[in-house]
Amino acid sequence: METAGVRLAPGLALIVSTRKGIFFLQPRSGRTGWQLSDPVFLGHIVNHAVLDPRDGRTLLAATRTGHLGPTVFRSRDAGGTWHEAVRPPAFDKAGPGEKPRVLSHTFWLSPGHVDEPDTWFAGSSPQALWTSADAGASWQSVRGFNDHPDYELRTEDPQAGTPDGPVLHSIQVDPRNAAHMYFGLSGGGVYESTDHGENWAPLNHGMASPNADPSTEGMETAYGDLAWKETGPQHDPHCVQIHPQYPDVLYQQNHCGIYRLVRPGTTWERIGRNMPRDVGDIGFVMGVHPRDPDTCWVIPMDGTSVWPRTSPGGKPAVYRTRDAGSGWERQDRGLPERGWYTVKRQCLSLDREDPVGVYFGTTSGEVWGSPDEGETWHCLAAHLPEIYAVEAGVAG
C-alpha cells in the first residue's frame, strides 16, 4: 500500500506531527517566509515523525487512528510517497502464565548511529524499546529491556502512569559509540546501555521523585539500584538530551526539575534550582545547543495544584542558560503576553545553523520560531491541530 504525501524541497524543514496528521514547514529563503504544506496522513494521530539526518530523505512516522491499531509509516523520498512498515512494533503473543502486553502506540522515533545507516529505534506505550535494521520496514523487540526479569519492576504499573499511558522516550545514541545508549521512562527514570541494548541500568542518582512523601524528601537513589522501587519514590524524566558534540554532557527536563549530568559522573545536578522562583523548573521539553555544551533551552510550565501544564501565570516564555544552568534568561520577545497552551515533550527542536534556530509547537496548534537563539520569536504557523512533535531537519 502506497500513500501519497508531500515531498520536501531540499533544505531546512520542520516536521510537525499533530493529533490530525503531519505538516511540513519550510522557509522560502534563509529562515523567513515559512510555507506550510498540505497535511499528510490527515486525520491520523501522529505521535512523532522524524527526518533521518543521515540521508536527508528517509522519514518515519509513528501513527494510529481513533479506530485502528498503531503502526509506522516510512518514506524514502523525503515525504513524496509512504509505505507502511511490514512488521510494525508489536509485543509477542503471551504464552501460558505470561501477562499479555498490547501496544497502545509508538511514541518516539530515533535514528541510530551514523555508522549504522538503516538502524532506527522506537519507544512505545506501554514502555518498551524497539529497533529496526532496515530503515523502519520491520521492527524487533529489544529483549534486553522488554523481556528483562525486572521489566515490571522497572516500568511500574501501566495504570499508574501518565494519563495517556507511560512512554519510553528520549532514545539517545552516543555519537562516539553505537553501543552506548540512553532512554527515559516517564514511569521509571533514565536508563543506560553500553552493549547495544543487551543490558540496561538505571541512571537516576540525584533526581527528585514526584511521589516522594515528606519522609523521603531529598532521597536519592544509587546508580544501578532498583531498591527505591520498593520504598516509594519514582522517577519521571520528561525529556533527556545528549549533547551531539560533547556526548558526556546530558541535559534533562524532569517532572521534578531541570538537571544536568556530566559523565562519567552518575549524579544528576538540579540546575533548575537557579530558575526564578515564581516560574519554577517544571516543563516537558529540553533543547540542547548543537555546538555549545553549556547552552540549552527549556519552556517552563505550571506544575502546581492539579498540574495545568500551561505557562506559569499564563505568560509564555522560553528560558535559556548559557552557563550550564548557573543562570537563566527569559526569552519572550514576540510571544503572546497571555497564553494558555502546553508545549509537549517532543515539541522543541533546534536547527544547526549559526545562530541556532529554535522552534516549538503548542497544543493550540501554533509553531513558533526564533532565528536568533531565542532572542526574538515569530509565529510560523497557526490553526493547526494539537501539536505532538516538532523536529527540525535538512532535506537532501
Q: How far is the CB of 65 from other proteins (least distance, A)?
A: 6
Give the one residue of 32, 35, 65, 177 binding other proteins; rule: CB under 8 A: 65
Residue whose CB is less far from other proteins, 66 or 264: 66
Residue whose CB is less far from other proteins, 70 or 184: 70
Q: How far is the CB of 395 from other proteins (least distance, A)?
A: 25
Q: How far is the CB of 63 from other proteins (least distance, A)?
A: 11
Place of cell 541510530: 112
Region near other proteins per CB under 8 A, out of 65-73, 107-115, 200-208, 220-228: 65-73
All three cell numbers of 116, joined, read 549504522
Region near other proteins per CB under 8 A, out of 61-69, 169-177, 224-232, 237-245: 61-69
Give the one residue of 29, 30, 67, 227 binding other proteins; rule: CB under 8 A: 67
Q: How far is the CB of 24 from other proteins (least distance, A)?
A: 21
Q: How far is CA 159 from the centre of its chain?
A: 22
Q: How far is the CB of 76 from other proteins (least distance, A)?
A: 17
Residue whose CB is less far from other proteins, 128 or 242: 128
Is residue 365 near other proteins by the rule CB under 8 A? no
Confirm if 203 and 148 have CB atoms less than 8 A apart.
Answer: no
Applying the rule CB under 8 A, the residues between 68 and 107 that interact with other proteins are: 68-69, 71, 84-86, 88, 90-94, 100-103
All three cell numbers of 41, joined, read 496522513
Residue whose CB is less far from other proteins, 42 or 222: 42
Applying the rule CB under 8 A, the residues between 2 and 41 that interact with other proteins are: 3
Applying the rule CB under 8 A, the residues between 103 and 142 that interact with other proteins are: 103
All three cell numbers of 48, joined, read 512523532
* Whole-number Å distance between alpha carbons of 311 and 303: 9
Total of residues contacting other proteins (CB under 8 A)? 21
Residues found near other proteins in the complex (CB under 8 A): 1, 3, 65-69, 71, 84-86, 88, 90-94, 100-103
